[in-house]
Chain A
Amino acid sequence: MQNKTLYDKVWQNHVVHERDDGMSLLYIDRHLVHEVTSPQAFEGLRLANRDIWRKDSILATVDHNIPTTDRSVGIDDVISKTQVDTLDQNCKDFSLVHFPMLDVRQGIVHVIGPEQGASLPGMTIVCGDSHTSTHGALGALAFGIGTSEVEHVLATQCLLMKKSKNMLIQVNGECASGVTAKDIILAIIGKLGTAGANGHTIEFAGSAIRALSVEGRMTVCNMSIEAGGRAGMIAVDDATLEYIAGRPFSPKDKNWDLAVAQWRTLNTDEGANFNSTIEIDANELQPQVTWGTSPEMVVGIDGAVPSNITADQQRALKYMELQPGTPIEEIKLDKVFIGSCTNSRIEDLREAANVIQDRKLAENIKLAMVVPGSGLIKQQAEQEGLDEVFKAAGFEWREPGCSMCLGMNADQLEPGERCASTSNRNFEGRQGKGGRTHLVSPAMAAAAAVHGHFVDVRRYL
């Protein structure tokens, strides 16, 4: 038998039917649902008088469009409230497992799936959100879908797709202290470009990936989509199994043993074929900062805004109001956002708090906020006293959600404001019309909050 990649294995395990024209009917094990991309899908089901194929495959929560301030008073924005109420009602009508806004288990859909043990190795996992690639950190095939596909999965438990190509990204060596999972993936995107992995499923491998915690691996897989890869995956190892054991939805007892036996096979066979292979040397990586309006416009903290640039890059610099050649450390900030499905897990908050400890926000920082990824992470952080560290420094400590990553709720940049953000996209207007976003790791965002401009966090450690 031909040697297979991790992706080949999970794909083949899920093919229900292969058409002559190469399209496959792929079975979906887990469907995560949130308020923004699902209402039209539920409406479509009702219009066609169809029921949901497998209700126990679905886990729903609200995250994109909810306030991160006091929720006991409800949602002010009538339009947002309608969308949140619509999901609540749909989950009630169809009897779906749902963590509503006031449930302590509520959070960003890509944080709570793994946290609950609802995202497991070898699964196919979909969600109407491009950052579904996050769950690939557990050895799952996880990818974002549009609303029509959400409806298709609700109605049939399957998707019609063509298998993508295999790409291997090998991150060798060891990251220096202060260089994190976020810096690895930003450097990869910088090298590959935002379209570099279009049409591919990425497998991340190598010693620097293996050395990451499972949370760190999620950060890496999360931004696969920013390199164009719809899915990113990492092979199962002991760390994966340790992470999963004992979570609410994880298999127990006899099922656990059965599952582990299968999950142990979820790695790439020796000699399996990749359509392309990229190598990165982790030893050479610095903390990364984006300077433009695409995640590929990124440079190390020692660097500067590039001088020899294309027309697209010129347009980006005009939007960002930056001059070619400006050293990254000279870029001054107005706001700091620590959160998002990329960097809102407990270790992200610990890393940021470690830098903030006994320090204060710089005077020019108008607002710095920490938005934990879930209610349970918020609780955990409070037990560890991290909230007090942030608050003492001048940060706001908020309720869980997507928040300023995409600014659907009230958490937005004003026109012209510049933000150090631990999120995943620095697109024009992403955090608010006219807002300027620089993507960094939680530790780098924390250090920037203290100094009011970017600094090399390695100096702190």
Chain B
Amino acid sequence: MKAFTEITSTFLPLDRSNVDTDAIIPQQYLKSVKRTGFGVNLFDNWRYKDPGVLGQDHSKRRLSDDFVLNKKQYQGAKILLARENFGCGSSREHAVWSILDYGFNVVIAPSFADIFRSNCYKNGLLPIALSTSEIDYLFEHVNTNPNYKCNINLDSQTITDENNKSFSFQIDEFRKYCLVNGFDEIDLTLQHEDKIKDYESKLKQTSPWLFSAK
């Protein structure tokens, strides 16, 4: 996993709540057996007028000009700004892969769905939850000035804008440790290999039926 330390970027303001993972990456693209190439289909149903299929040339499709992702002024943004319960619904990790592949590194919202947030951490996408009033503040500034930028520093857990207005955010110590170092969680878990084996041998004694399945 790529390490995350800090970025400075403009925002993409997606002013919707309950953005579900079906909207982030529709079902037909889940037929892929790869982890890459999903960026071009991020928000596919909102972004394109005509339906698409996996593997086609998406540059030939008609864009929905009024969808915020297609607006010139927000191109290049690395921070996705949204409303409550971002990433709800399906557990598809393709949602996180598509957001990263498109070029975002951070999603800021008042709240996230549990599985989506967990998937973010495994891939180096930073989900930041702020209060509704802080989110309102950011939307107001981005809507007034698309070039509005913030610096996001994971080490100090702060978001700071050009006027030195600053917000702090919470993150689990362990998640931060993994993100900052770009650690592979499987390696970390396998450091406890002996403990897992001990647990398993006790389980075989107390609950033998768990091991005698056909």
Contacts and interface: CB of A to CB of B under 8 A. Distances in A.
Interface of A: 16-17, 19, 21-23, 25, 27, 29, 36-37, 39-40, 43, 48, 50, 53-54, 56, 64-65, 77, 79-80, 82-83, 86, 97, 118, 120, 122-123, 128-130, 143-149, 151-152, 155-158, 160-162, 164, 194-195, 198-199, 225, 228, 230, 248-249, 251, 255-256, 258-259, 262, 294, 312, 315, 406-408, 415, 425, 427-430, 433
Interface in B130-185: 172-174, 177, 184-185
B200 interface: yes
Contact of B22 (A86, A158, A256, A425): A425
A130 B85 contact: no
A199 B208 CA distance: 32
A250 B156 CA distance: 51
B27 interface: yes
Contact of B85 (A50, A198, A415): A198
B3 interface: no
Interface string B194-207: 01100110010011
B31 A65 contact: yes
Contacts of B33: 39-40, 43, 82-83, 86
Contacts of A37: 30, 91-93
B209 A258 contact: yes
Contacts of A56: 211, 213
B184 to A, nearest CB: 8
B22 to A, nearest CB: 5
B189 A408 contact: no
Contacts of B92: 36-37, 146
Contacts of A429: 22-23, 26, 45
Contacts of B23: 427-429
B114 A255 contact: no
B172 A148 contact: no
Contact of B119 (A148, A262, A294, A407): A148
Nearest to B199: A16
Interface in B10-69: 16-18, 20, 22-23, 26-28, 30-35, 45, 51, 54-55
A315 B66 CA distance: 14
B26 A145 contact: no
Contacts of B122: 146, 148-149
B136 to A, nearest CB: 14
A259 B206 CA distance: 9
Contacts of B45: 428-429, 433
B94 to A, nearest CB: 8
A17 B22 contact: no
List the 7 closest pairs (A to B, CB-CB), nearest first: A251-B209, A148-B122, A146-B93, A146-B119, A195-B85, A39-B33, A144-B91
B77 to A, nearest CB: 22
Nearest to B45: A429
B115 A230 contact: yes
Contacts of B55: 79
A82 B55 CA distance: 13
20 contacts: A37-B93, A79-B31, A130-B90, A145-B91, A146-B91, A146-B119, A149-B122, A156-B186, A162-B172, A194-B88, A195-B85, A199-B114, A225-B89, A249-B214, A251-B212, A294-B18, A408-B30, A425-B90, A427-B23, A429-B45
B96 interface: yes
B91 A129 contact: yes
A259 B118 CA distance: 33
B54 A148 contact: no
Contacts of A194: 18, 85, 88
B113 interface: yes
B22 A19 contact: no
Contacts of B54: 79
B18 A312 contact: yes
B29 to A, nearest CB: 10
A40 B34 contact: yes
Interface string B110-122: 0111110011001
B118 to A, nearest CB: 6
Contacts of A262: 206-207
B174 A23 contact: yes
Nearest to B22: A427
A312 B17 contact: yes
B213 A118 contact: yes
A255 B189 contact: no
A341 to B, nearest CB: 12
B26 A195 contact: no
Contact of A228 (B90, B96, B114): B114
Given A25-B192, A148-B93, A256-B209, 17 more contacts: A16-B199, A43-B33, A43-B35, A54-B200, A82-B31, A118-B213, A144-B91, A145-B115, A147-B93, A151-B186, A152-B189, A155-B186, A156-B196, A195-B85, A255-B209, A429-B23, A433-B45
